[in-house]
Amino acid sequence: MSTTSTTGPGKQPRTEGDDQDLGAAGSQLSTAPKEEAPNLPSLGVTGWARWFWRQLTSMRVALLLLLLLSLGAIPGSLIPQDGVDAVKVEEFRDNHDILGPLYDKLGLFHVYSSVWFSAIYILLFVSLIGCIVPRTWQFVGQLRGRPPRAPRRLDRLPAYTTWRTAAEPEEVREAALTLLKKRRFRADAAVDAVSAEKGYLREAGNLAFHIALIVMLIAFAWGQLFKYEGNKLILEGDGFSNTLTQYDDFKSGNLFDPDHDLAPFSFSLKNFHGTYEATGPNRGTPRIYEAEVSYSEGAYGAQKTKTIEVNKPLEIDGSKVYLVSHGYAPILTVKDAQGNVVMDKAATALLPLDANVTSSGAVKVMDGYRNAEGEKEQLGFNAFFLPTYGGRGSTMLSTFPALLNPMLALSAYHGDLGVDAGFQQNVYQLDKSNLKEFKDSDGELFKKQLKVGETMTLPNGAGTVTFDGIQEWAGFQVTRQPASGWALGGAVVAILGLAGSLFIQRRRVWVRAVRGADGVTVVEMAGLGRSESAKVPEELGDLAGLLYDRAPEPARTADSATDTHEVPAEGAEK
């Protein structure tokens, strides 16, 4: 129904519904004097700081920052990173003239240490702390306090039941208090009612989830700042000492100090043992893949023996040594034009190219070689090795990873290897800029296939190369990831806390027992779920049934048989 109002003599009455239809336009037709907006006080620095803090610690902003953190991690997975594979980063820069410089400016080649990712990370960290601290104090206050008193009108609650009993009100309240405590409710009797609450672990789980998230963030940051990871290729019989110069490649966190933080230990590779599936669809798949090592902790530690397997690393003083790769190293003897031995049964590791360990690399003779004219030179050989050669006419690919029919193919060069130029050089590749090819009788690059024990004679009496045998090598990765245990613990607690916050239902129950006007005790029970729970009426019915057994309705007499009042059924909801 709308009310009417008049706008002056001779004017038609205007209804309140007309005003609503006019909306904002109608407000501008008013002839009332325009009220000036009050002068609001300036927020000032403190006010703006409080406003910013409230926004930062809100759940909305925390979820937004978590989303930004997830989105920011995407380029870290799709774009090559400096700390993971610097070679791929350089290749990307060389192949992309526009994207390369752009990614450099945006820090996309080092996402996790970039300014923008760190800013999101720190803001999320602060937001979580600012959200958790007040909620924790509030939760502690709830645990120390008593359940709230019963409302005046219990029948207005969503779950409600009532009956009359001959028991005294005090007896009913005492029985209700005992029953609720037995059901693990926090219960308290006050005046004429018993108040009880259950499901506090829901909020505890919620807080545990957020605290565990903070622990995971701290552990992740600590691990990234103080971690290190290095790789080392070791021939059978050779050893390794955990110093920076011993690594083939090494990367670490920004706060890691290799002079003080590298754990002192050493180990040597005694033997590598690998067996492979010989037949069937899984032919060539490793069955046994293990390296036997002897190691010692500290400078003068006792020697111990350990077998390292895939995903079963050697753990030494907080560092883990993983077995990550395996290959072969042909053993060669090289003589110069005068017959002098310039490389005496030396093993040169080659890198595998496929699952059957087809391998390639470079053999470099840097010192002692003299050609037929007596001049000092250096020799270089491109090497291609097949553990199992299919025979002449087959492709130059190994057919099995084990040493069933090994074959070594060499192509020869002479001149300057460039190792004395002062620049870093890949030990597995030849720098041919200052090298000359040895030519065969047809004027082509001189190359030859060798089996174990065979010798290759270089053109024009320039020397010989003998394939003496094969030695195996294993690749190890040494890593240290501090705070990984904290991160794992935080993840477990976060899962448990999230499960608690999702599945534990917080609810309240009240029982009121008072004497009615006719002297009979009236019992009321009501329940309220503080979270989305459909079980409050069922639980209240169950509790009401148990309490009804202790305080049943009075037996009816002949005079009371004509009473018209109804007693609700057990657990009935009004």
Q: Is residue 204 part of a domain?
A: no
Residue 39 — pLDDT band, cuts 50, 70, 90? low
Residue 85 — pLDDT band, cuts 50, 70, 90? confident
Q: DSSP letter at 354?
A: S
CA distance 436 to 337: 17
Per-chain mean pLDDT for the chain: 85
Q: What is the pLDDT of residue 570?
A: 41
Q: What is the pLDDT of residue 389?
A: 94
Q: Is residue 8 part of a domain?
A: no
Domains identified in the chain, total number: 4
How many CB atoms lie under 10 A from the CB of residue 482?
A: 19
Pair 443, 335 in one domain: yes
Q: What is the pLDDT of residue 420?
A: 75
Q: What is the pLDDT of residue 252?
A: 86
CA-nearest of 343, 258, 260, 275 to 309 is: 275
SS3 percent helix, strand, coil of the chain, rounded to 5, is 35, 30, 35
DSSP conformation letters of 193-206: EEEEEE-THHHHHH
Identify the domain containing residue 232 by its residue range. 226-321+478-491
Pair 448, 485 in one domain: no
For 67-79, how does the pLDDT look when each residue is reduced to its tens digit (9 = 90+)? 998 898 898 889 9
CB of 383 closer than 8 Å to CB of 409: yes
DSSP conformation letters of 500-567: HHHH---EEEEEEEEE-TTSPEEEEEEEEESSS-S-HHHHHHHHHHHHHHHSPPPPP-TTGGG-----
CA distance 12 to 6: 7
For 400-410, how does the pLDDT look when each residue is reduced to its tens digit (9 = 90+)? 999 999 999 99
CB of 426 closer than 8 Å to CB of 472: no
Q: Indicate whether 17 pLDDT > 60.
A: no
3-state class (DSSP) for residue 317: coil
Amino acid at position 20, single letter: Q
Q: What is the pLDDT of residue 143?
A: 79
Pair 289, 403 in one domain: no
Side-chain half-sphere of 505: how many Cα atoms within 13 Å?
A: 13
3-state class (DSSP) for residue 20: helix
- Reading the block at residue 81, the tokens are 């990173």
Q: What is the pLDDT of residue 36?
A: 55
3-state class (DSSP) for residue 236: coil
Pair 349, 416 in one domain: yes
For 428-459, how does the pLDDT look when each residue is reduced to its tens digit (9 = 90+)? 899 898 999 999 888 899 999 999 999 999 99
Main-chain phi, psi angles of 546, to 5 degrees: -65, -40
Mean pLDDT of 260-272: 92
**Dihedral over Cα of 352, 354, 358, 364: its sign:** negative
CA distance 195 to 185: 9
CB of 572 closer than 8 Å to CB of 183: no
Strands 304-309, 314-316: parallel, antiparallel or unpaired by DSSP? unpaired
Q: Which residues pair with 466 in a beta bridge?
A: 333, 455
When mean pLDDT is compared across 36-50, 195-209, 374-388, the lowest value belongs to 36-50
Point out the domain boundary residue: 433, 458, 491.
491
Pair 243, 167 in one domain: no
Mean pLDDT of 410-422: 86
Pair 251, 389 in one domain: no
CA distance 284 to 278: 6
Pair 176, 156 in one domain: yes
3-state class (DSSP) for residue 408: strand
Q: Indicate whether 172 pLDDT > 90.
A: yes
CA distance 443 to 445: 7
For 317-349, how does the pLDDT look when each residue is reduced to its tens digit (9 = 90+)? 889 999 999 999 999 999 999 999 999 999 999
Residue 171 — pLDDT band, cuts 50, 70, 90? very high
Q: Which residues pair with 79 in a beta bridge?
A: none
Pair 466, 541 in one domain: no
Q: Indicate whether 555 pLDDT > 80.
A: no
Q: What is the pLDDT of residue 274?
A: 93
Mean pLDDT of 101-125: 88
CA-nearest of 243, 249, 245, 246 to 229 is: 249
Distances (CA, A) of 168 to 28, 174, 178, 346, 513: 67, 10, 16, 101, 8
Point out the domain boundary residue: 139, 159, 185.
139
Residue 422 — pLDDT band, cuts 50, 70, 90? low
3-state class (DSSP) for residue 403: coil
How many CB atoms lie under 10 A from the CB of residue 329?
A: 22
CATH number of the domain residue 157 falls in: 3.30.310.80
Q: Indicate whether 494 pLDDT > 70.
A: yes
Q: How many residues does the chain have?
A: 574
Q: Indicate whether 204 pLDDT > 50.
A: yes
When mean pLDDT is compared across 46-60, 154-168, 445-459, 507-521, the lowest value belongs to 46-60
Q: Indicate whether 271 pLDDT > 70.
A: yes
CA distance 261 to 227: 10
Point out the domain boundary residue: 139, 162, 186.
139
Please report which residue ranges of 459-512 form alpha helices under DSSP H.
484-503
Pair 390, 469 in one domain: yes
Pair 451, 331 in one domain: yes
CA distance 381 to 384: 10
Q: What is the pLDDT of residue 41?
A: 56
Q: Is residue 313 part of a domain?
A: yes
